[in-house]
Amino acid sequence: MGVAELRSFVLVEIFRGEKVGAGKYSMLMRAKLQSSERTLRDDEVAQWAGQIAKALEGLGGVRRA
């Protein structure tokens, strides 16, 4: 994937229950994006967030609304 500005990516919380569905779970993950050279633009962060989501979908993840 190669997002040089990605400083950390951690699992924050796992949700289980009837709202998620039997045998399934939902995960809250936090990505920290940072540059030591400049302020990141909103469009860059949105693009990288999309790349991260796409990579997770490639591993079998499904994005919830």
The tokens describing 36, both together, are 């030591």
For the cut 80, the answer to whether the pLDDT of residue 65 exceeds it is no
- In this predicted structure, what is the pLDDT of residue 21? 80
Q: What is the pLDDT of residues 45-59, one digit of tens each?
A: 999 999 998 998 998
Range of the domain at 21: 6-58
Residue 13 placed within a domain:
yes
| Three-class DSSP category at 51 | helix
For the cut 60, the answer to whether the pLDDT of residue 20 exceeds it is yes
Q: Percent of the chain, pLDDT > 70?
A: 97
Q: What is the pLDDT of residues 26-46, one digit of tens each?
A: 888 999 999 999 999 999 999
Residue 35 placed within a domain:
yes
**Partner residues linked to 31 by β-bridges:** 9
Number of domains in the chain: 1
